[in-house]
C-alpha cells in the first residue's frame, strides 16, 4: 500500500477555523481521566484523532 509522504504535514496544518465538537471534548476528558487504563486511553485517543481528521479533511 502506498504511504502518503505528506500525511503529517497535511493533517497538522492549521485550519482557518476549527471548533471542537462535544464528542471531541468528551474524548479529551476520557483521555485525561484514563491515566491508568491504557486501553481506554488508546481507544479515546484514536476516536479523537479520527474525529479531528474527518472534521478537517472530510470523511
- Tens of pLDDT, residue by residue over 11-37, are 666 665 677 889 888 888 887 776 667
Q: H or E segment at 16?
A: none
What pLDDT, on the 0 to 100 scale, is given for residue 8? 66
Report how far residue 20's alpha carbon sits from residue 56's, in angstroms, rounded to the nearest whole number: 11
User: What average pLDDT does the structure give for the chain?
Assistant: 75
CA 8 to mean position of chain CA atoms: 13
Q: What is the pLDDT of residue 38?
A: 76
The pLDDT of residue 16 is: 59
What does pTM read for this prediction? Answer: 0.48
Whether 1 has a pLDDT exceeding 60, the answer reads no
Q: Is it the case that residue 3 has pLDDT exceeding 80?
A: no
Cβ atoms of residues 44 and 27 within 8 Å:
yes
Amino acid at each position: 500500500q502506498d504511504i502518503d509522504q505528506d500525511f503529517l504535514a497535511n493533517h497538522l496544518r492549521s485550519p482557518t477555523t476549527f471548533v471542537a465538537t462535544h464528542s471531541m471534548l468528551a474524548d479529551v476528558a476520557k483521555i485525561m481521566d484514563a491515566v491508568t487504563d491504557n486501553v481506554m486511553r488508546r481507544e479515546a485517543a484514536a476516536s479523537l484523532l479520527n474525529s479531528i481528521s474527518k472534521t478537517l479533511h472530510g470523511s
